[in-house]
Structure 1
Amino acid sequence: MMLDWIDGGVSMFQYFTPQQANRILGEVRRRFNNIVAIRDEVLELQEELQSIVDHDASLQVYIEKKQELNSALTRLYAAIEELEAMGVVLKSIDEGLIDFPAKRFGEDVWLCWKSGEDEVKFWHGKDEGFMGRKPLPVSDESLV
């Protein structure tokens, strides 16, 4: 799916309104879920690799598993780049946090989404984290 602010795969910076963020949330969620699945694969491969080391397996088995891990890591970073090319920032895979750049009364802020939420409905200051989240008013005209 090609999005109008992505030109040839290279992201272009933009500020999001809550409506714009919610309009692309389905695709953001899909890409985030893919990242989680690849991250889980990476963790499993790391455990398998450690088991190979612990059980003194052959170098061939070790190298093959290590190459499998390298490929999974490459896919993970590519998936993160693909998500962030949409103009969003992945703050935490483990906590499921994604931020959308926005402006509030002329000040840079983040619109904040957490995995499991059905829409973008919080914001926080540029230098605040998840703990600084504030609910978006029903019609916040101050967010551009």
Structure 2
Amino acid sequence: MFKKYFTLQEANKLLPAVREELAHLQYLQREFQAVYYQLQAVKKAELEGKTKDTDDIFMLESTIDFLEIQAQCYVRQLEQAGIFIKSIDEGLVDFPAKVEGQSVLLCWKQGEEFITHYHHLFESFKKRKKIYSTDDEIEGGL
């Protein structure tokens, strides 16, 4: 089902890099929103006849495009490593794994020191289950 499955140890080892990537994504998201609101204000002013500066609109739209491309690169980089961003806002990240031969997602939320929970593929973060055992029951590999 997945290209890569992580052991608990492998996933936890990647958390410093994931934290950094997520922080970049959150920064880009804030910038995107700020520029988007600025663009809407400039477009509204143009519609109301208060300005005729199409250069501003072009620059803001170009900035939005560039921010989107940057964010896509971060997400793609994580996905190529087999890691899935579930929510940039909430800082939710999933790592495919296997528990007792069954595909699951190790789930981590920004602010947590380590991965301590998992959930089944079609369950949400709210239904996550605590990992009580050692890494032996969390299977990784290709």
TM-score by length of 2: 0.88
Q: Does the aligned pair in 1 maintain the 2:28–2:67 contact within 8 Å? A: yes
Mapped partners of 1:71, 1:14: distance in 2: 30
The list of structure 1 runs, each at least 4 consecutive aligned residues, that deviate by more than 2 angstroms after superposition, is none
Superposed, 1:97-136 pairs within 5 Å as 97-136=92-131
Q: Work out the CA distance in 1 between the residues paired with 2:56 and 2:38.
A: 11
Structure with bigger helix share is: 2
CA contact (8 A) 2:7 2:135 kept: no
Provide the aligned C-alpha RMSD in A: 1.4
Question: Is 1:29 matched up with 2:24?
Answer: no
For residue 28 of structure 1, report the CA deviation from its aligned partner.
0.9
Given that 1:42 and 1:69 are in contact with CA atoms closer than 8 Å, whether structure 2 keeps it comes out as: yes
Q: Which structure exhibits the higher relative contact order, with contacts defined as CA atoms closer than 8 Å and separated by 6 or more residues?
A: 2
Could you tell me which runs of 5 or more consecutive residues in structure 2 were left unpaired when the two chains were aligned: none
Instruction: Give the structure 1 partner of residue 65 of structure 2.
Output: 70
Q: Percent identity?
A: 31
Structure 2 residue aligned with 1:48: 38
Instruction: Provide the secondary structure at the position in 2 that maps to 1:141.
Output: helix
User: Which residue identity is paired with 2:99?
Assistant: R
CA drift of 1:15 comes to 0.7
Count residues with an aligned counterpart. 133
